[in-house]
Amino acid sequence: MIISVVNKKGGVGKTPFAFSIAKDLEYFLQSN
């Protein structure tokens, strides 16, 4: 839910940044 908010606020320019956060968060959730 937080990632989608970041994507909406960031727009096109920060999409890769938000995507990298999503990947890190997904990895963090899987490792727990």
User: Residue 25 is part of which domain span?
Assistant: 2-31
pLDDT, residue 25, reads 81
Q: Can you give the pTM of this predicted structure? A: 0.38
pLDDT, residue 11, reads 56
**Tens digits of per-residue pLDDT, 8-30?**
655 555 567 777 778 888 877 77
Quote the CA–CA distance of 10 and 3 in Å, as a whole number. Answer: 10
pLDDT, residue 10, reads 55
Please state the domain count of the chain: 1
Cβ burial of 19 (10 Å; 0-12, 13-18, 19+) is middle
